[in-house]
Amino acid sequence: MKDSTTKQSVSNLVPREFGILDFNERVLSLAQDKKNPILERLRFICIISNNLDEFFEILVARLKTNGSEQESKYVRHNTLLEEISIRSLRLVSLQYATLNKEIIPELKTNGIFLKTKETLEKSQALWVEKYFHKEVLPILNPIGIDPAHPFPRVLNKSLNFAVELEGRDAFEREIKIAILQVPRILPRIVEIPVQSSPRKRSFITISSMLSTHIDDIFPGITVSGAHQFRVTRNSELFINEEEVTDLADAVKGELSYRQYGDAVRLETSISCPTSVTEYLLSELGLTERDLFPVNGPVNLVRLNSLPNLLNRQELEFIKFTPGLPNELPKHIDIFETLDKQDVLLHHPYQSFAPVLDFLESASSDSRVLAIKQTVYRTGVNSAVMKKLIKASQRGKQVTVALELFARFDEETNYEWATRLEDAGVTVVYGVVGFKTHAKMLLVMRKINNKIKYYSHLGTGNYNSDTVTKYTDLGFITSNQELGKDINEVFARLTRISGNPKKGILWTAPFTLSDAIIAAIENEIKIANRGRKAYIIVKINALTDEKLINKLYEASTAGVKIDLIVRGACSLRPGIAGLSENIKVRSILGRFLEHSRVMMFFNGGARDLYIGSADWMYRNMHGRVEVCFPINDLVLKNRIITETLEYDLRENVNAWNLNVEHIYEKIENKTGSEFSAQGANLEKLAN
């Protein structure tokens, strides 16, 4: 499983971190696109902030903690961290400029107002004052900094104020600065019910409310300045998996420390004076490179609640009802259907309900003996988990391979693990050192004294929330060879097992990387014989050097390659003599593109695989992943059309990556717009 990657020159590989920042720049363009409804543009603004939080909490924190071999590998004139800082600052500046100059004015046009101290009407100011004194002030607890009260350990991503003070307190202490940590129990955005017109709705952020009434928090002391700030901390969980005896308890114990990891970023209001920012940087152990002054609230993620408060559907994307495949007629037993044919689900255009129905039927069918499922991200109120519990309570043998290290879902998964075990479900945590990222559900049914397998495999998580927002593929089948392979994967997850037998599943960390390379090498051989050789791959990220090098080799041999990479792409297309036959594009839109699809032309056979893995080193060698073939000609043609061909036709929200590794928005020069997501909505949704 060791990677014998051939080293490439610096110019042919681009850091993953740059690809993530590039991706968020493309998200920003969606926020700037006036064709999108205004509340959706606001959501895109919030998505950027959420993405950057995780970027700094994990990737930048990792660089700061471990140093980086990437710095020496990719460095040109600046260190990697310095270039990340420059690019991030530019992105954040454009993000806030878009919010202030485009989004907020457009909200006003639609009767939606975000109020500040300066823009409050008199009646509104009186209401805010009463609300502040009744609901906010009693639970505030500012800390005056002195020898007995050192700088506090502020929570990760919490809202805080650095307050400059003049004068003496009741104990005759001269306090020059206080830190106000805003309790998370307080709502971050509050509607002001007093309006001058019934068609208006006004809101105020908690930061604006505190700024307005900061003097009331420090009676008898002069407040000379109040400056909001926010600290992002290292949120990696540090667990020595080889030493712990109970992984679940170790994760639970480590979660409490996540809020207090080392600081990696400081956000302040743009008006914060240098003396205060220098003080904060010093106390947090940061440098000027880590400072991000912003022109507005320091946490834009909180504005994401505004659309739900408004309920203005005319200012959002048009609602739709997910469709159901024709293969699943109403009132027909799903096992009877699967005995005759496979079923393909293309989310979110098609409903997730058949997966829940599959589980429900399995839990109530007297011939079902066992259910096995992997769980990565489920959500707090998971219908899938509830059905697994019900199945166990009905006497089925239920086994769940639950991933405790699903980033930022660890606490939710831990709680579900407890509930599952209480219901009699066998819960395992996969293999130490390898995240279980595969999306698999296996039902074992006894028919005529023989075990028959029914399975669901997918590209996305068993999460009823993200399934409405991400594009993913789900495949339900009674293919027995595939079922046996899936059962073998579960065997390796639940007990000690030898090397896997060769089957039709491509599995990581065992066969997946080698299988992909073999498929690429097959196209190279075909190209060398002068025949058509073609590869199309749709993934979320492409950073694995070994696979990139093999794609470069294929391009040099004359293989045509189309890559549809939503996020980070370390490959550089269009280099003469190396990647001139490779094209890379990124599709963004209403839904997050999340499907993983591979098509190898193979002399016209068009071998098609879908699965859970991106083309990153971690997916190939550090996770449990599965990719599987689609052989049914009708379903194969559907996937190729709906995911690959549509994406290559896209001319509304598509970006091409050039040889300088700059994304260029595709301009529609034909006058005929084609949106892949729009076409799938029209084709599949109700």
For 286-342, write each residue's pLDDT tens digit: 999 999 999 999 999 999 999 999 989 999 999 999 999 988 877 788 999 999 999
Query: What is the spatial distance between Cα 603 and Cα 597, in angstroms, rounded to a whole number?
Result: 19
Which residue is associated with the tokens 């600290």? Answer: 231
- Identify the pLDDT of residue 46: 97
Buried b (16+ CB within 10 A) or exposed e, 41-61: bbbbbbbbbebbbebbbbbbb
Question: In this structure, what are the phi and psi dihedrals at residue 343, rounded to the nearest 5 degrees?
Answer: -125, 130
Q: 168 forms bridges with which residues in the sheet?
A: 174
- Identify the pLDDT of residue 354: 95
User: 503 with 481: CB under 8 angstroms?
Assistant: yes
Peptide bond into 348 cis (omega under 30): yes
CA atoms within 13 A on the CB side of 227: 25
Query: What is the spatial distance between Cα 438 and Cα 456, in angstroms, rounded to a whole number?
Result: 11
Q: Which amino acid type is present at position 666?
A: I
User: 439 with 459: CB under 8 angstroms?
Assistant: yes
Instruction: Return the percent helix, strand and coil in the chain, to nearest 5.
Output: 40, 25, 35
Query: What is the spatial distance between Cα 35 and Cα 20, in angstroms, rounded to a whole number?
Result: 24
Radius of gyration of the chain (CA): 27
Query: What is the spatial distance between Cα 386 and Cα 590, in angstroms, rounded to a whole number?
Result: 29
Antiparallel, parallel or unpaired: β 440-447 and 450-458:
antiparallel
Q: Which string of DSSP letters, residue by residue, matches 557-613?
A: HT-EEEEEESS-B-B-TT-TTTTTTEEEEEE-SSSEE---EEEE-GGGT-EEEEES-
- Identify the pLDDT of residue 1: 38
Query: What is the spatial distance between Cα 541 and Cα 246, in angstroms, rounded to a whole number?
Result: 33
- Identify the pLDDT of residue 608: 98
User: 244 with 210: CB under 8 angstroms?
Assistant: no
Q: Which amino acid type is present at position 493?
A: L
Which residue is associated with the tokens 């496979």? Answer: 342
Helix (H, G, I), strand (E, B) or coil at 154: coil
User: 587 with 593: CB under 8 angstroms?
Assistant: yes
- Identify the pLDDT of residue 244: 46
- Identify the pLDDT of residue 251: 54
Closest by Cα among 646, 676, 677, 651 to 666: 651
Helix (H, G, I), strand (E, B) or coil at 90: helix
Going from the C-alpha of 591 to that of each of 89, 467, 567, 675, 681, the distances in angstroms are: 26, 10, 14, 12, 11
- Identify the pLDDT of residue 250: 52
- H or E element in which residue 23 lies: helix 16-32
Instruction: Output the pTM of the full model.
Output: 0.92
- Identify the pLDDT of residue 172: 64
CA angle 602, 606, 608 (to 5 degrees): 115
Q: Which amino acid type is present at position 535?
A: I
Going from the C-alpha of 469 to that of each of 352, 355, 438, the distances in angstroms are: 12, 17, 20
User: 568 with 20: CB under 8 angstroms?
Assistant: yes
Going from the C-alpha of 298 to that of each of 189, 260, 295, 476, 497, the distances in angstroms are: 13, 19, 8, 45, 50
With a cut of 50, list the residues of the chain below it in pLDDT.
Answer: 1-10, 68-72, 74-77, 242-245
The dihedral through the CA atoms of 142, 148, 151, 157 has a sign that is negative
- Identify the pLDDT of residue 5: 38
Q: Which amino acid type is present at position 422?
A: D
Going from the C-alpha of 139 to that of each of 46, 177, 178, 209, 594, the distances in angstroms are: 28, 20, 16, 14, 43
pLDDT in tens, 567-613: 999 999 999 999 999 999 999 999 999 999 999 999 999 999 999 99
- Full set of structural domains in the chain with CATH: 10-315 (3.30.1840.10), 334-502 (3.30.870.10), 507-684 (3.30.870.10)
Q: Which pairs from 278-284 meet CB under 8 Å and 24+ separation?
A: 279/162, 279/177, 280/162, 280/229, 283/151, 284/231
Catalytic residues: 437
